[in-house]
Amino acid sequence: MTSITKLAKPDQGEDMSPANYRTRKSNTERLQNNTEWSPFDDLALEYDAWFDKEGSLIFFIEVQAFRELLPSLPKPWLEIGVGSGRFAQALGIETGIDPSTKFVEMAKKRGISAFLGRGEQELFEEESFGTVFLIVTLCFLDSTLDVLREAKRILIPGGKIVLGLVLKESPWGQFYQAKKAQGHRFYRYAKFYRYDEVARLLVRAGFVTEKIASTLFQQPGKVKHVEEPRGGYFPDAGFTIIVAGRQGVVARG
């Protein structure tokens, strides 16, 4: 596993914005020189272009669903798997991490304080963030439970984790699983989860689900109009958002 720079919490009286976390220069340089290659390094430009082309309306629908939840989420905010920074920029997420050098560069150009790293690594000090987002990231993780537990460690008391998911049982999940089976350049790396699997993972990591929002009820290839999100879990929704809070005890196993 690649070594990682730990970002220290500011001393009292310092600016608490994530962009002002102090880094240890020697560790930062070592990380940049030894980071593992990410498959998305070669796909970054193509991935990012989707948001301006066929994915533009889908992206708008998903962002609208998030925006209804944002006022209740404590700051500062972090996105694990920030990608090219599209969601972070649209939602006002200040800080992000990603294992792809190309994505980190793109996120920085969009004004995100982005760092190279993986979600399971201890990049930040304990209780550094109010909310941690994982938006279409869970399906690409190697160590899903480790990432969720790390998210809990860096959340403040009363902090939240927010998952944006394409669930396995949904029409969109089935659509992407078919692409995975065909060896699609993006989705061959993905592992999709059912809602009940995600709920169990959250419990094991020490979270309790507090709110669910669902959107993208139009079928793959047939998205023609803006949708309003619905509260609760719907198996026919193409995009599901889960907001969970910290529990006091982490289930082991």
The CATH code of the domain that includes 145 is 3.40.50.150
Q: Is residue 253 in a domain?
A: no
Counted domains in the chain:
1
Q: Taking 80 as the threshold, does the pLDDT of residue 244 lie above it?
A: yes
Instruction: Tell me which of 212 and 29 has the higher pLDDT.
Output: 212
Q: Taking 90 as the threshold, does the pLDDT of residue 23 lie above it?
A: no
Is the peptide bond preceding residue 229 cis, with omega within 30 degrees of 0? no
User: How high does pLDDT run on average in the chain?
Assistant: 84
Burial 210-241 (b: 16+ CB within 10 A, else e): eebbbbbbbebeebeeebebeeebbeebbbbb
Q: Is residue 6 in a domain?
A: no
Instruction: Tell me which of 155 and 27 has the higher pLDDT.
Output: 155
Q: Is residue 11 in a domain?
A: no
pLDDT at 28: 40
pLDDT over 90 for what percent of the chain?
A: 68
Q: Is residue 2 in a domain?
A: no
Q: Is residue 179 in a domain?
A: yes
* Total residues found in the chain within this entry: 253
Q: Is residue 9 in a domain?
A: no
pLDDT band at 189; cut points 50, 70, 90: confident
What mean pLDDT comes out for the span 236-249? 90
Q: Please give the structure tokens belonging to residue 108.
A: 């920085």
For residue range 55-95, list pLDDT tens digits in order.
899 999 999 999 999 999 999 999 999 999 999 999 999 99
Q: What is the domain range of residue 98?
A: 18-246
Q: Is residue 241 in a domain?
A: yes
Q: Is residue 83 in a domain?
A: yes
pLDDT at 36: 60
Asked if 88 contacts 79 with a C-beta cutoff of 8 angstroms, the reply is yes
pTM of the model: 0.84
Range scoring the smallest mean pLDDT among 39-43, 79-83, 164-168: 39-43
For residue range 210-225, list pLDDT tens digits in order.
999 999 999 999 999 9
- CA–CA separation, 61 vs 77, rounded Å? 21
Instruction: Tell me which of 10 and 127 has the higher pLDDT.
Output: 127
Q: Taking 70 as the threshold, does the pLDDT of residue 39 lie above it?
A: no
Please return the burial class of 19, using the count of CB atoms within 10 Å of its CB with bins 0-12, 13-18 and 19+.
exposed
Q: Taking 60 as the threshold, does the pLDDT of residue 19 lie above it?
A: no
- CA–CA separation, 52 vs 159, rounded Å? 33
Number of H helices, E strands in the chain: 8, 8
Give the angle subtended at the CA of 11 by the CAs of 28 and 75, to the nearest 5°: 85
pLDDT at 46: 83
